[in-house]
Homo-oligomer: A and B are copies of this chain.
Protein backbone atom coordinates (compact mmCIF):
# COMPACT_ATOMS: atom_id res chain seq x y z
CA UNK A 1 0.00 0.00 0.00
CA UNK A 2 1.51 3.37 -0.93
CA UNK A 3 1.91 5.68 2.05
CA UNK A 4 1.72 9.45 2.46
CA UNK A 5 2.74 11.63 5.37
CA UNK A 6 0.56 14.72 5.86
CA UNK A 7 1.47 17.37 8.41
CA UNK A 8 -0.89 20.07 9.71
CA UNK A 9 0.49 23.03 11.63
CA UNK A 10 -1.11 24.97 14.48
CA UNK A 11 -3.20 27.36 12.37
CA UNK A 12 -4.45 24.40 10.30
CA UNK A 13 -5.90 22.74 13.43
CA UNK A 14 -6.77 25.88 15.39
CA UNK A 15 -10.36 24.84 16.11
CA UNK A 16 -12.80 21.99 15.46
CA UNK A 17 -13.85 23.40 12.06
CA UNK A 18 -10.29 23.56 10.84
CA UNK A 19 -9.55 20.06 12.11
CA UNK A 20 -12.61 18.96 10.14
CA UNK A 21 -11.26 20.70 7.05
CA UNK A 22 -7.85 19.07 7.46
CA UNK A 23 -9.47 15.66 7.99
CA UNK A 24 -11.26 16.02 4.65
CA UNK A 25 -7.90 16.35 2.93
CA UNK A 26 -6.76 13.17 4.66
CA UNK A 27 -9.99 11.35 3.74
CA UNK A 28 -9.42 12.27 0.09
CA UNK A 29 -5.96 10.64 0.07
CA UNK A 30 -7.32 7.51 1.79
CA UNK A 31 -10.05 7.33 -0.86
CA UNK A 32 -7.33 7.39 -3.49
CA UNK A 33 -5.74 4.30 -1.96
CA UNK A 34 -3.11 5.66 0.39
CA UNK A 35 -2.30 4.65 3.93
CA UNK A 36 -1.65 7.94 5.71
CA UNK A 37 0.42 9.08 8.66
CA UNK A 38 -0.86 12.45 9.86
CA UNK A 39 1.44 14.59 12.00
CA UNK A 40 -0.30 17.30 14.01
CA UNK A 41 0.82 20.37 15.92
CA UNK A 42 -0.96 21.81 18.94
CA UNK A 43 -4.02 23.97 18.25
CA UNK A 44 -2.61 27.45 17.68
CA UNK A 45 -2.21 29.38 20.92
CA UNK A 46 -2.15 26.25 23.07
CA UNK A 47 1.62 25.81 23.11
CA UNK A 48 2.03 29.44 24.11
CA UNK A 49 -0.46 28.97 26.94
CA UNK A 50 1.45 25.95 28.24
CA UNK A 51 4.85 27.64 27.88
CA UNK A 52 3.44 30.65 29.72
CA UNK A 53 2.43 28.50 32.65
CA UNK A 54 5.81 26.81 32.83
CA UNK A 55 7.68 30.11 32.67
CA UNK A 56 5.28 31.63 35.19
CA UNK A 57 6.00 28.76 37.56
CA UNK A 58 9.72 28.51 37.23
CA UNK A 59 12.04 30.94 35.44
CA UNK A 60 14.89 28.38 35.38
CA UNK A 61 12.62 25.45 34.63
CA UNK A 62 13.56 21.77 34.56
CA UNK A 63 13.44 21.03 30.82
CA UNK A 64 12.08 17.54 31.49
CA UNK A 65 8.99 18.98 33.16
CA UNK A 66 8.72 21.69 30.49
CA UNK A 67 8.61 18.96 27.85
CA UNK A 68 6.05 16.89 29.75
CA UNK A 69 3.74 19.89 30.03
CA UNK A 70 4.21 21.37 26.57
CA UNK A 71 3.90 18.07 24.66
CA UNK A 72 0.32 17.71 25.89
CA UNK A 73 -0.90 20.22 23.30
CA UNK A 74 -0.11 17.90 20.39
CA UNK A 75 -1.68 14.95 22.20
CA UNK A 76 -5.00 16.77 22.35
CA UNK A 77 -4.97 17.53 18.62
CA UNK A 78 -4.01 13.96 17.75
CA UNK A 79 -7.02 12.58 19.64
CA UNK A 80 -9.40 15.11 18.14
CA UNK A 81 -8.11 14.46 14.60
CA UNK A 82 -8.51 10.69 15.05
CA UNK A 83 -12.08 11.20 16.28
CA UNK A 84 -12.87 13.50 13.34
CA UNK A 85 -11.61 10.90 10.87
CA UNK A 86 -13.60 8.16 12.60
CA UNK A 87 -16.72 10.31 12.19
CA UNK A 88 -15.98 10.26 8.43
CA UNK A 89 -15.75 6.46 8.58
CA UNK A 90 -11.99 6.52 8.12
CA UNK A 91 -10.35 3.97 10.46
CA UNK A 92 -7.93 6.11 12.45
CA UNK A 93 -6.23 6.20 15.82
CA UNK A 94 -3.99 8.61 17.67
CA UNK A 95 -0.40 7.92 18.69
CA UNK A 96 1.50 9.78 21.37
CA UNK A 97 5.27 9.79 21.10
CA UNK A 98 5.79 7.06 23.73
CA UNK A 99 3.22 4.81 22.07
CA UNK A 100 5.11 4.61 18.75
CA UNK A 101 7.70 4.86 20.49
CA UNK A 102 9.54 7.81 18.92
CA UNK A 103 12.99 7.38 20.45
CA UNK A 104 15.03 10.55 20.86
CA UNK A 105 18.11 11.76 22.68
CA UNK A 106 17.61 13.08 26.21
CA UNK A 107 18.42 16.70 25.22
CA UNK A 108 15.14 18.00 26.53
CA UNK A 109 13.48 20.79 24.48
CA UNK A 110 16.08 20.19 21.75
CA UNK A 111 15.96 16.43 21.34
CA UNK A 112 17.07 14.68 18.17
CA UNK A 113 15.60 11.51 16.68
CA UNK A 114 17.35 8.26 17.48
CA UNK A 115 14.87 5.79 16.02
CA UNK A 116 11.30 5.58 14.80
CA UNK A 117 10.45 1.87 14.92
CA UNK A 118 7.73 0.89 12.46
CA UNK A 119 6.36 -2.23 14.08
CA UNK A 120 3.55 -0.86 16.28
CA UNK A 121 2.08 1.35 13.57
CA UNK A 122 2.62 -1.23 10.83
CA UNK A 123 0.78 -3.82 12.93
CA UNK A 124 -2.24 -1.52 13.12
CA UNK A 125 -2.12 -0.78 9.37
CA UNK A 126 -2.14 -4.54 8.87
CA UNK A 127 -5.28 -4.75 11.05
CA UNK A 128 -7.10 -2.25 8.87
CA UNK A 129 -6.19 1.14 10.33
CA UNK A 130 -5.95 3.59 7.42
CA UNK A 131 -4.64 6.65 9.25
CA UNK A 132 -2.15 6.92 12.11
CA UNK A 133 -2.46 10.36 13.70
CA UNK A 134 0.85 11.09 15.42
CA UNK A 135 1.47 13.91 17.89
CA UNK A 136 4.26 16.00 16.40
CA UNK A 137 7.18 17.71 18.13
CA UNK A 138 7.69 15.03 20.79
CA UNK A 139 9.37 11.76 21.62
CA UNK A 140 10.58 9.73 24.55
CA UNK A 141 14.08 9.39 25.99
CA UNK A 142 15.86 6.21 27.05
CA UNK A 143 14.85 7.04 30.62
CA UNK A 144 11.19 7.03 29.62
CA UNK A 145 10.74 10.79 29.97
CA UNK A 146 8.86 12.86 27.39
CA UNK A 147 11.11 14.94 25.15
CA UNK A 148 10.37 17.71 22.67
CA UNK A 149 12.28 18.74 19.57
CA UNK A 150 12.02 22.48 20.07
CA UNK A 151 9.75 24.91 18.27
CA UNK A 152 8.74 23.90 14.76
CA UNK A 153 9.67 20.32 15.51
CA UNK A 154 6.48 18.98 13.96
CA UNK A 155 7.86 19.57 10.44
CA UNK A 156 10.87 17.52 11.43
CA UNK A 157 8.67 14.79 12.88
CA UNK A 158 6.81 14.62 9.57
CA UNK A 159 9.99 14.24 7.54
CA UNK A 160 11.40 11.65 9.94
CA UNK A 161 8.23 9.54 9.64
CA UNK A 162 8.29 9.88 5.86
CA UNK A 163 11.88 8.60 5.89
CA UNK A 164 11.19 5.77 8.36
CA UNK A 165 8.08 4.55 6.52
CA UNK A 166 9.35 5.09 2.97
CA UNK A 167 6.52 7.52 2.22
CA UNK A 168 5.86 8.49 -1.37
CA UNK A 169 5.77 12.13 -0.27
CA UNK A 170 5.58 14.32 2.82
CA UNK A 171 2.92 17.03 2.46
CA UNK A 172 3.30 20.01 4.79
CA UNK A 173 -0.06 21.82 5.04
CA UNK A 174 0.38 25.37 6.23
CA UNK A 175 -1.07 28.86 5.92
CA UNK A 176 0.72 29.73 2.66
CA UNK A 177 0.15 28.03 -0.66
CA UNK A 178 3.78 27.37 -1.54
CA UNK A 179 7.27 28.77 -1.89
CA UNK A 180 7.58 32.02 -3.86
CA UNK A 181 10.42 33.51 -5.87
CA UNK A 182 10.41 36.24 -3.26
CA UNK A 183 8.12 37.73 -0.65
CA UNK A 184 4.87 38.69 -2.47
CA UNK A 185 4.42 41.56 -0.02
CA UNK A 186 7.58 43.12 -1.44
CA UNK A 187 7.36 42.28 -5.11
CA UNK A 188 4.02 42.11 -6.91
CA UNK A 189 5.79 40.00 -9.50
CA UNK A 190 6.59 37.19 -7.04
CA UNK A 191 5.69 33.83 -8.53
CA UNK A 192 4.93 30.54 -6.83
CA UNK A 193 7.50 27.87 -7.66
CA UNK A 194 6.28 24.43 -8.73
CA UNK A 195 9.52 22.84 -7.63
CA UNK A 196 12.58 23.89 -5.70
CA UNK A 197 15.74 21.93 -4.87
CA UNK A 198 16.54 21.04 -1.25
CA UNK A 199 19.73 23.14 -1.33
CA UNK A 200 17.86 26.20 -2.58
CA UNK A 201 15.15 25.76 0.04
CA UNK A 202 17.81 25.58 2.75
CA UNK A 203 19.30 28.87 1.63
CA UNK A 204 15.88 30.49 1.38
CA UNK A 205 14.70 29.14 4.74
CA UNK A 206 17.75 30.27 6.64
CA UNK A 207 17.51 33.68 4.97
CA UNK A 208 14.07 34.37 6.27
CA UNK A 209 11.48 32.61 4.13
CA UNK A 210 10.10 30.96 7.24
CA UNK A 211 7.78 28.41 5.70
CA UNK A 212 9.73 25.29 6.59
CA UNK A 213 12.05 24.62 9.51
CA UNK A 214 15.64 24.41 8.27
CA UNK A 215 16.14 21.19 10.19
CA UNK A 216 13.27 19.46 8.45
CA UNK A 217 14.68 20.41 5.03
CA UNK A 218 18.12 19.12 6.00
CA UNK A 219 16.58 15.82 7.09
CA UNK A 220 14.51 15.60 3.90
CA UNK A 221 17.63 16.22 1.81
CA UNK A 222 19.61 13.55 3.64
CA UNK A 223 16.90 10.89 3.25
CA UNK A 224 15.64 12.16 -0.13
CA UNK A 225 12.12 12.71 1.20
CA UNK A 226 10.02 14.58 -1.34
CA UNK A 227 8.50 17.44 0.59
CA UNK A 228 5.51 19.43 -0.55
CA UNK A 229 4.37 22.74 0.94
CA UNK A 230 0.73 23.58 0.33
CA UNK A 231 -2.23 25.45 1.79
CA UNK A 232 -4.63 24.07 4.38
CA UNK A 233 -7.17 26.69 3.51
CA UNK A 234 -7.62 26.09 -0.21
CA UNK A 235 -8.81 23.19 -2.30
CA UNK A 236 -5.69 21.28 -3.20
CA UNK A 237 -4.80 18.55 -5.66
CA UNK A 238 -1.69 16.79 -6.89
CA UNK A 239 -0.41 19.95 -8.58
CA UNK A 240 -0.89 22.29 -5.62
CA UNK A 241 1.84 23.92 -3.65
CA UNK A 242 5.58 23.66 -4.14
CA UNK A 243 7.54 20.42 -4.23
CA UNK A 244 10.88 20.55 -2.45
CA UNK A 245 12.92 17.76 -4.00
CA UNK A 246 16.23 16.54 -5.26
CA UNK A 247 17.65 18.67 -8.03
CA UNK A 248 17.54 15.62 -10.33
CA UNK A 249 13.76 15.99 -10.36
CA UNK A 250 13.99 19.55 -11.64
CA UNK A 251 14.40 19.28 -15.39
CA UNK A 252 15.59 22.71 -16.30
CA UNK A 253 16.52 25.13 -13.58
CA UNK A 254 16.68 28.84 -13.93
CA UNK A 255 20.02 30.30 -12.92
CA UNK A 256 18.38 32.05 -9.98
CA UNK A 257 15.32 30.60 -8.25
CA UNK A 258 14.58 33.22 -5.67
CA UNK A 259 15.49 36.44 -3.94
CA UNK A 260 15.64 36.31 -0.16
CA UNK A 261 16.16 39.02 2.41
CA UNK A 262 16.84 39.52 6.05
CA UNK A 263 15.80 42.86 7.42
CA UNK A 264 17.28 43.03 10.90
CA UNK A 265 21.01 42.86 10.33
CA UNK A 266 23.83 44.91 11.79
CA UNK A 267 27.35 45.46 10.51
CA UNK A 268 30.28 45.73 12.92
CA UNK A 269 33.75 46.86 11.90
CA UNK A 270 36.81 46.54 14.08
CA UNK A 271 39.11 49.28 12.84
CA UNK A 272 42.90 48.77 12.78
CA UNK A 273 43.24 45.18 13.87
CA UNK A 274 46.64 43.56 13.94
CA UNK A 275 47.08 41.46 10.78
CA UNK A 276 48.64 38.24 12.03
CA UNK A 277 47.92 34.51 11.92
CA UNK A 278 45.25 33.58 14.47
CA UNK A 279 43.64 37.00 14.60
CA UNK A 280 40.31 35.71 13.17
CA UNK A 281 40.11 33.02 15.84
CA UNK A 282 40.95 35.57 18.53
CA UNK A 283 38.02 37.74 17.39
CA UNK A 284 35.36 35.16 16.59
CA UNK A 285 35.90 32.70 19.45
CA UNK A 286 34.71 35.20 22.10
CA UNK A 287 31.72 36.08 19.89
CA UNK A 288 30.76 32.42 19.58
CA UNK A 289 31.16 31.98 23.34
CA UNK A 290 28.79 34.90 23.86
CA UNK A 291 26.20 33.25 21.62
CA UNK A 292 26.49 35.84 18.83
CA UNK A 293 25.49 34.46 15.41
CA UNK A 294 28.07 35.87 13.00
CA UNK A 295 26.97 35.60 9.39
CA UNK A 296 29.11 37.40 6.76
CA UNK A 297 32.79 38.16 7.39
CA UNK A 298 35.07 40.43 5.35
CA UNK A 299 38.66 41.32 6.02
CA UNK A 300 39.77 44.52 4.23
CA UNK A 301 43.33 45.28 3.31
CA UNK A 302 43.04 48.97 3.88
CA UNK A 303 44.81 51.34 1.56
CA UNK A 304 45.36 53.99 4.18
CA UNK A 305 48.58 54.52 6.00
CA UNK A 306 48.49 53.37 9.62
CA UNK A 307 51.28 55.65 10.83
CA UNK A 308 51.18 54.78 14.48
CA UNK A 309 51.05 51.01 13.89
CA UNK A 310 54.45 49.57 13.09
CA UNK A 311 53.22 46.09 12.11
CA UNK A 312 50.71 45.06 9.43
CA UNK A 313 47.13 46.07 10.23
CA UNK A 314 43.68 45.53 8.72
CA UNK A 315 39.96 46.22 9.30
CA UNK A 316 37.63 43.33 10.11
CA UNK A 317 33.91 43.60 9.24
CA UNK A 318 31.16 41.13 10.07
CA UNK A 319 27.36 41.02 10.19
CA UNK A 320 25.15 39.81 13.04
CA UNK A 321 21.44 40.01 13.96
CA UNK A 322 20.73 43.56 15.10
CA UNK A 323 19.44 42.42 18.52
CA UNK A 324 22.84 40.89 19.32
CA UNK A 325 24.84 44.11 18.91
CA UNK A 326 25.23 44.86 22.60
CA UNK A 327 26.26 41.30 23.34
CA UNK A 328 28.85 41.45 20.56
CA UNK A 329 30.17 44.83 21.73
CA UNK A 330 30.65 43.53 25.25
CA UNK A 331 32.42 40.38 24.02
CA UNK A 332 34.83 42.49 21.96
CA UNK A 333 35.48 45.02 24.73
CA UNK A 334 36.14 42.22 27.22
CA UNK A 335 38.52 40.53 24.78
CA UNK A 336 40.37 43.83 24.27
CA UNK A 337 40.51 44.49 28.02
CA UNK A 338 42.02 41.05 28.62
CA UNK A 339 44.62 41.61 25.90
CA UNK A 340 43.39 38.88 23.56
CA UNK A 341 42.81 41.32 20.71
CA UNK A 342 43.63 44.95 19.91
CA UNK A 343 41.70 47.47 17.81
CA UNK A 344 41.37 51.22 17.60
CA UNK A 345 37.65 51.49 17.24
CA UNK A 346 34.47 49.40 17.04
CA UNK A 347 32.05 50.87 14.46
CA UNK A 348 28.44 49.69 14.46
CA UNK A 349 25.98 50.16 11.63
CA UNK A 350 22.54 49.04 12.74
CA UNK A 351 20.73 50.14 9.59
CA UNK A 352 21.60 47.38 7.17
CA UNK A 353 19.76 44.51 5.55
CA UNK A 354 20.88 41.46 3.63
CA UNK A 355 19.58 40.59 0.17
CA UNK A 356 20.50 37.31 -1.52
CA UNK A 357 19.93 35.61 -4.83
CA UNK A 358 19.74 31.82 -4.63
CA UNK A 359 19.83 29.17 -7.35
CA UNK A 360 21.45 25.84 -8.08
CA UNK A 361 21.81 26.95 -11.73
CA UNK A 362 24.54 29.34 -10.58
CA UNK A 363 26.96 26.47 -10.36
CA UNK A 364 27.08 26.17 -14.13
CA UNK A 365 26.54 29.81 -15.03
CA UNK A 366 29.11 32.57 -14.83
CA UNK A 367 28.20 36.20 -14.59
CA UNK A 368 25.47 35.98 -11.94
CA UNK A 369 27.34 38.25 -9.54
CA UNK A 370 28.04 40.78 -12.26
CA UNK A 371 24.38 40.84 -13.26
CA UNK A 372 23.37 41.28 -9.62
CA UNK A 373 25.79 44.14 -8.95
CA UNK A 374 24.78 45.85 -12.19
CA UNK A 375 21.10 45.71 -11.22
CA UNK A 376 21.87 47.24 -7.82
CA UNK A 377 24.14 49.89 -9.35
CA UNK A 378 21.35 50.87 -11.75
CA UNK A 379 19.29 51.79 -8.67
CA UNK A 380 22.23 53.58 -7.04
CA UNK A 381 22.32 51.08 -4.18
CA UNK A 382 25.72 50.92 -2.53
CA UNK A 383 26.99 47.46 -1.56
CA UNK A 384 28.64 47.35 1.86
CA UNK A 385 29.63 43.69 2.16
CA UNK A 386 29.53 40.79 -0.29
CA UNK A 387 29.53 37.08 0.49
CA UNK A 388 29.17 34.21 -1.92
CA UNK A 389 28.61 30.47 -1.78
CA UNK A 390 28.14 27.90 -4.50
CA UNK A 391 24.44 28.63 -4.95
CA UNK A 392 23.98 32.01 -3.28
CA UNK A 393 25.26 35.56 -3.49
CA UNK A 394 24.44 37.87 -0.59
CA UNK A 395 25.01 41.59 -0.16
CA UNK A 396 24.64 43.89 2.81
CA UNK A 397 23.03 47.22 1.91
CA UNK A 398 21.35 50.17 3.66
CA UNK A 399 18.08 48.92 5.07
CA UNK A 400 16.06 51.67 3.43
CA UNK A 401 16.91 50.21 0.00
CA UNK A 402 15.99 46.64 0.88
CA UNK A 403 12.58 46.47 -0.84
CA UNK A 404 13.95 48.32 -3.87
CA UNK A 405 16.84 45.88 -4.13
CA UNK A 406 14.54 42.84 -3.90
CA UNK A 407 12.32 44.21 -6.65
CA UNK A 408 15.24 45.14 -8.87
CA UNK A 409 16.84 41.72 -8.54
CA UNK A 410 13.55 39.90 -9.07
CA UNK A 411 13.15 41.86 -12.33
CA UNK A 412 16.80 41.52 -13.40
CA UNK A 413 16.66 37.73 -13.18
CA UNK A 414 13.18 37.61 -14.76
CA UNK A 415 11.80 35.51 -11.91
CA UNK A 416 8.23 36.41 -12.82
CA UNK A 417 8.60 34.11 -15.83
CA UNK A 418 8.13 30.38 -15.31
CA UNK A 419 10.63 27.66 -16.37
Chain B nearest Cβ from A401, distance in angstroms: 47
Find chain B residues with CB under 8 A from A61 CB: 83
The secondary structure that dominates the A interface is: helix
**A65 near B82: Cβ-Cβ < 8 Å:** yes
**B93 near A79: Cβ-Cβ < 8 Å:** no
A367 at the interface (CB under 8 A from B): no
Interface size range on A against B = 20 to 34
**A69 near B58: Cβ-Cβ < 8 Å:** no
A54 at the interface (CB under 8 A from B): yes
User: Which chain A residues (58-83) contact chain B, with CB distance < 8 Å?
Assistant: 58, 61-62, 64-66, 68-69, 72, 75-76, 78-80, 82-83
**B79 near A94: Cβ-Cβ < 8 Å:** no
Contact of A65 among B16, B53, B79, B145 (CB under 8 A): B79
Contacts A58-B87, A98-B98 given; does A75 touch B72 at CB 8 Å: yes
CB nearest neighbor in B for A143: B99
Q: Which of A16, A56, A57, A64 has the most CB of B within 10 A?
A: A57
Cα distance, A234 to B293, chains bound together (Å): 51
CB nearest neighbor in B for A54: B83
Cα distance, A288 to B78, chains bound together (Å): 37
A144 at the interface (CB under 8 A from B): yes
Chain B nearest Cβ from A261, distance in angstroms: 39
CB nearest neighbor in B for A43: B53
Contact code string A327-365 (vs B, CB < 8 Å = 1, else 0): 000000000000000000000000000000000000000
Contacts A68-B78, A72-B72, A79-B69 given; does A57 touch B94 at CB 8 Å: no
A86 at the interface (CB under 8 A from B): yes
A271 at the interface (CB under 8 A from B): no
Find chain B residues with CB under 8 A from A144 CB: 99
Find chain B residues with CB under 8 A from A99 CB: 144-145
**A93 near B76: Cβ-Cβ < 8 Å:** no
Chain B nearest Cβ from A82, distance in angstroms: 5
Chain B nearest Cβ from A70, distance in angstroms: 8
A314 at the interface (CB under 8 A from B): no
Find chain B residues with CB under 8 A from A145 CB: 99
Chain B nearest Cβ from A312, distance in angstroms: 54
A5 at the interface (CB under 8 A from B): no
**A76 near B53: Cβ-Cβ < 8 Å:** yes
A12 at the interface (CB under 8 A from B): no
Contacts A16-B56, A58-B86, A87-B57 given; does A93 touch B80 at CB 8 Å: no
A116 at the interface (CB under 8 A from B): no
A157 at the interface (CB under 8 A from B): no
Cα distance, A96 to B68, chains bound together (Å): 9
Chain B nearest Cβ from A129, distance in angstroms: 12
Find chain B residues with CB under 8 A from A149 CB: none
Chain B nearest Cβ from A102, distance in angstroms: 14
Contact of A75 among B53, B68, B93 (CB under 8 A): B68
**B65 near A50: Cβ-Cβ < 8 Å:** no
Chain B nearest Cβ from A296, distance in angstroms: 40
The 9 closest A-B pairs by CB, nearest first: A69-B79, A72-B72, A58-B83, A68-B79, A65-B79, A57-B83, A65-B83, A58-B87, A65-B82
18 chain-A/chain-B pairs, Cβ below 8 angstroms: A50-B76, A53-B76, A54-B83, A58-B84, A58-B87, A61-B83, A65-B79, A65-B86, A65-B93, A66-B79, A66-B83, A68-B75, A68-B78, A69-B75, A69-B76, A69-B79, A69-B80, A75-B75
